[in-house]
Chain A
């Protein structure tokens, strides 16, 4: 039914497309083909390695299996960071994004709920099939981190203990659930009749968008929201109101020592997704400087992160780490302003749901 509808709409688009309007579909096609499809496929491939890594660390618990698990978990987070800001289509269908990682969680909902799962030895947590119907907070990468790492960022999954069998069974269910969702997201983007068709049949209007410009605005604004998340949600809580109020535990994935991997991943992700749109030819000459400026600032941001020593839980209060993250926050604000105000302005793109059309 859905396929038929899009087929009809695609025909309609050809006949009613106004000649004077810019068609943004090629830009959206660039994003899908050169960024979204490769990155969601990469995430699916790394996430698919998680179940075997969990099995191995639970069966052996030796240094090699621990290291493999650490590596696979970290690479899965990196690849998730490359796509988590694509908050449209397959990533948010069926609550997938919340189920992949329950963020933010400043009040420890995940911890509380996992404690209950463990205390009751809830059998529904032992199979991906039943786990996926439980609370989103106990299903994803954030839940796996709590189970698999201790407070000092060491792997505890598979180590001897009273709860080893249950914890391993639960961790395996999470990893299988993650692998399944990552696969569904990649497939969703590969499907020519899936959400890519919604974006690519927007010119002339479809069930979601009136124009391809509106479709472009929706993905452009998702990238801006990604920068807002990176700064306001992922960095500022750890900075607190001053050096003496710093809370390294508030960085995302600090428990597993992966905060730098995750933060770098989301910044590189937004940078590359934006670049993949190839908007330069639509940008007035007076504003083409923005692209170099934006790349320069992204490189600075990631460069700052690369100089930090993970895990930040141990290093954040030492040396100049705090100051570097404070500069990172300023850089992220500058990036957001440059992209959301100057670049969007130059391209005449509308942004801000309430700001745009309040009442």
Chain B
């Protein structure tokens, strides 16, 4: 018999709560109720969360299991992007895609309605955030758009209601992704460098002068510890998405805003006290990527890094300690990547599929393709 008391979360509680969470009865006639309940190891089922778009034009964030079955869908007010997951996995926050102004706090294992946050006047979200190690604070990357200043909104998550209690400067324009370093004190922020203003939608306003950086900030004092920029010749490589490897280094994927015919490096390794290292993508693969990396994710042990390139329909894999290219998997419009098991990745795509990749030399195993769903850019392991 399973001991429910020794686990912080109850899957049965999760199932019970679904009715209160989702606005669409996707699971009532789906495999969820039966497949998850009937699974012998239901308590240990890995779960994943990703934003999506439905065929009917609605947006939301969904929870899927390791068989790719959609367990819950929560409608969002607009297009979502990244998700911050609390360290104890009891909550996640789904952020609006830039320049959106909503974030939705979901407690998937409790029967409570999601809490919708709205950005402060003069601020919009960039789509990513992260929790402090104790789960009490949330840091959201935001745009102070009157001055084109990147900031981290700091939110107190410990009370009954979420409260924004301050902000920290990111020392750059267009902060995009954020990570909490293993020391629990340092925040790593990728300042993408691209200036936008909500009055101009998603128009890029400073491509000639953009200057992306990766900065290491003290989350308690807000001080800038280190900021890394790339060589001036790469100033148009917007540094955007990140993952930490087993050594605590940030792997960063870029999107190049310069000439399409250029073939700059797209993946770099950043650490606080060392100069950035740029990896080499084999020429035959690099030429098809349209200079665009979507998601960056480490496997569970941090020794393999996956970087998706949806415009090239490829996901690239790297050996984390040496930076050596391990291979690529062709997945059309594949972008969201989450670690599954020790050595595998679950990859989501815009055609609705959820695919398992354990070895780039083997074809991806398509686990599921829920009809009517286009998975958005990022997927995260929820458990």
Task: List the interface of chain A (C-beta within 8 A of B).
Answer: 87-88, 91-92, 95, 97-99, 102-104, 106-107, 109, 112-113, 116, 132-138, 207-208, 218, 225, 228-229, 232-233, 236-237, 241, 336, 352-355, 358-359
- Please determine whether B31 and A135 come into contact, CB atoms closer than 8 angstroms: yes
Inter-chain contacts of A91 with B (CB < 8 A): 371
Q: Could you tell me which residues of chain B, from 330 to 383, have a CB within 8 Å of some CB in chain A?
A: 332-335, 349-353, 361-372, 374-377
- Please determine whether B335 and A354 come into contact, CB atoms closer than 8 angstroms: yes
Inter-chain contacts of A104 with B (CB < 8 A): 366-369
Is residue B275 contacting chain A, with contact meaning CB distance below 8 A?
A: no
User: Which of B56, B351, B362 contacts A228, CB < 8 Å?
Assistant: B351
- Please determine whether A233 and B353 come into contact, CB atoms closer than 8 angstroms: yes
- Please determine whether B53 and A353 come into contact, CB atoms closer than 8 angstroms: yes
Inter-chain contacts of B311 with A (CB < 8 A): 352, 355, 358
A103 and B97 alpha carbons, distance in the complex (Å): 31
Inter-chain contacts of A137 with B (CB < 8 A): 31, 34-35
Inter-chain contacts of B31 with A (CB < 8 A): 102, 109, 113, 135-137
Which interface residue of B35, B350, B361 has the most chain A CB atoms within 10 A?
B350
A to B CB contacts below 8 Å, 13 in the list: A98-B371, A99-B29, A102-B31, A116-B34, A132-B29, A135-B33, A232-B363, A233-B369, A237-B363, A353-B333, A354-B349, A355-B311, A358-B377
A62 and B294 alpha carbons, distance in the complex (Å): 58
A136 and B240 alpha carbons, distance in the complex (Å): 39
- Please determine whether B30 and A98 come into contact, CB atoms closer than 8 angstroms: yes
- Please determine whether B335 and A97 come into contact, CB atoms closer than 8 angstroms: no
- Please determine whether A358 and B30 come into contact, CB atoms closer than 8 angstroms: no
Is residue B107 contacting chain A, with contact meaning CB distance below 8 A?
A: no
Inter-chain contacts of B370 with A (CB < 8 A): 98
Inter-chain contacts of B127 with A (CB < 8 A): 359
A232 and B353 alpha carbons, distance in the complex (Å): 10
A88 and B373 alpha carbons, distance in the complex (Å): 10
How far does the Cβ of A74 sit from chain B's closest Cβ, in whole Å? 23
- Please determine whether A233 and B335 come into contact, CB atoms closer than 8 angstroms: no
Closest to A231 in B: B332
Inter-chain contacts of B353 with A (CB < 8 A): 232-233
User: What are the 9 closest A-B residue pairs judged by CB atoms, nearest first?
Assistant: A353-B350, A354-B335, A354-B310, A97-B371, A92-B372, A353-B374, A135-B34, A355-B311, A92-B371
How far does the Cβ of A192 sit from chain B's closest Cβ, in whole Å? 19
- Please determine whether B371 and A355 come into contact, CB atoms closer than 8 angstroms: no
How far does the Cβ of B266 sit from chain A's closest Cβ, in whole Å? 13
Closest to A229 in B: B369
Q: How many chain B residues touch A (Cβ–Cβ < 8 Å)?
A: 53
**Chain B 296-325: CB-based contact to A (< 8 A → 1; otherwise 0):** 000000000000001101000000000000
How far does the Cβ of B277 sit from chain A's closest Cβ, in whole Å? 24
Closest to A88 in B: B55
Inter-chain contacts of A87 with B (CB < 8 A): 55, 352, 371-372
- Please determine whether B372 and A358 come into contact, CB atoms closer than 8 angstroms: no
Is residue B233 contacting chain A, with contact meaning CB distance below 8 A?
A: no
- Excluding A116-B38, A352-B311, 20 further A-B contacts by CB distance (< 8 Å) are A87-B352, A92-B371, A103-B369, A104-B368, A112-B38, A113-B38, A135-B29, A135-B31, A135-B33, A229-B369, A232-B363, A233-B366, A237-B366, A241-B363, A353-B333, A354-B335, A354-B350, A359-B81, A359-B98, A359-B377
- Please determine whether A136 and B30 come into contact, CB atoms closer than 8 angstroms: yes
Closest to A112 in B: B38
Closest to A137 in B: B31
A357 and B30 alpha carbons, distance in the complex (Å): 30
A236 and B362 alpha carbons, distance in the complex (Å): 11
A218 and B350 alpha carbons, distance in the complex (Å): 12
Given A113-B38, A225-B351, CB of A359 within 8 Å of CB of B97: yes
Inter-chain contacts of A138 with B (CB < 8 A): 34
- Please determine whether B30 and A95 come into contact, CB atoms closer than 8 angstroms: yes
A95 and B363 alpha carbons, distance in the complex (Å): 28
- Please determine whether A354 and B371 come into contact, CB atoms closer than 8 angstroms: no
Inter-chain contacts of B361 with A (CB < 8 A): 241
Closest to B310 in A: A354
Inter-chain contacts of B116 with A (CB < 8 A): none
- Please determine whether B332 and A232 come into contact, CB atoms closer than 8 angstroms: yes
Q: Could you tell me which residues of chain B, from 127 to 162, have a CB within 8 Å of some CB in chain A?
A: 127
A172 and B375 alpha carbons, distance in the complex (Å): 36
- Please determine whether A134 and B56 come into contact, CB atoms closer than 8 angstroms: no
A88 and B56 alpha carbons, distance in the complex (Å): 8
Which interface residue of B97, B333, B365 has the most chain A CB atoms within 10 A?
B333
Is residue B282 contacting chain A, with contact meaning CB distance below 8 A?
A: no
Inter-chain contacts of B366 with A (CB < 8 A): 104, 106, 232-233, 237
Given A97-B371, A104-B366, A136-B31, CB of A354 within 8 Å of CB of B377: yes
**Chain B 6-44: CB-based contact to A (< 8 A → 1; otherwise 0):** 000000000000000000001011110111001000000
